[in-house]
Amino acid sequence: LDSENDERVKEYINQIANSPELKTEVHLCDNSTLNLILARYLVICEKEGIQLDVDIRKSCFDFMQIEDITSIFSNMLENAVEASRNAENAFIELNVRKSDSGQILIALLNSCREKPIQLPDGKFVSHKKDKKNHGFGMKSMEKVIKRYHGTLNAYYDEGDNIFHTVVLLNKEK
């Protein structure tokens, strides 16, 4: 980071590191990085009136790099908060399980206040107005998921106004 000399990135990291959301201590899983991320989103969801439920089973991320965990969960949760903000009965449910074969299944469901924009190729587009600095979350997740020979399935249930994000990761890269 220091060699890149990108002041915007340094400022962003400092902003996150010093945010009050990271002052909340939680223990929702056995991974300290993911606990930090979840602590941040617990505070955000509480402020936004979004019910956040988390069920993460033990020893799911022992094979993953910190930056990969951060990329997947920060982007998933940020997108879920954005979609759920101001939705009626807003909620986010995050479930993570490890199969006997070592595969990790991450399932995130969230309410949506409006139907997401979907391109003909099936990809979703950010609702955020500042397209120059937003809309990279799913692409970042896809890179990480590909690195773990995994899959990403995201779809919107129009009948229930619920967005589903399902990620499958393989322990062997």
> Is the model's pLDDT at 2 over the cut of 60?
no
pLDDT of res. 131: 53
Average pLDDT value for residue range 13-21: 66
Average pLDDT value for residue range 69-77: 95
Q: Identify the band that residue 16 occupies on the pLDDT scale cut at 50, 70 and 90.
A: low
For residues 141 and 79, is the Cβ–Cβ distance under 8 A? no
Encode 7-39 in three state secondary structure: HHHHHHHHHHHCCHHHHCCCCCCCCHHHHHHHH
pLDDT above 90 covers a percentage of the chain that reads: 53
User: What's the mean per-residue pLDDT of the chain?
Assistant: 84
Average pLDDT value for residue range 20-28: 61
> Is the model's pLDDT at 3 over the cut of 90?
no
Q: Identify the band that residue 27 occupies on the pLDDT scale cut at 50, 70 and 90.
A: low
For residues 46 and 36, is the Cβ–Cβ distance under 8 A? no
Average pLDDT value for residue range 81-85: 95
For residues 83 and 112, is the Cβ–Cβ distance under 8 A? yes
Token pair in block for residue 8 = 């915007």
> Is the model's pLDDT at 77 over the cut of 70?
yes
Quickly list H helices, 18-166. 32-48, 66-84, 137-147
**Cα(28)–Cα(40) distance, integer angstroms:** 12
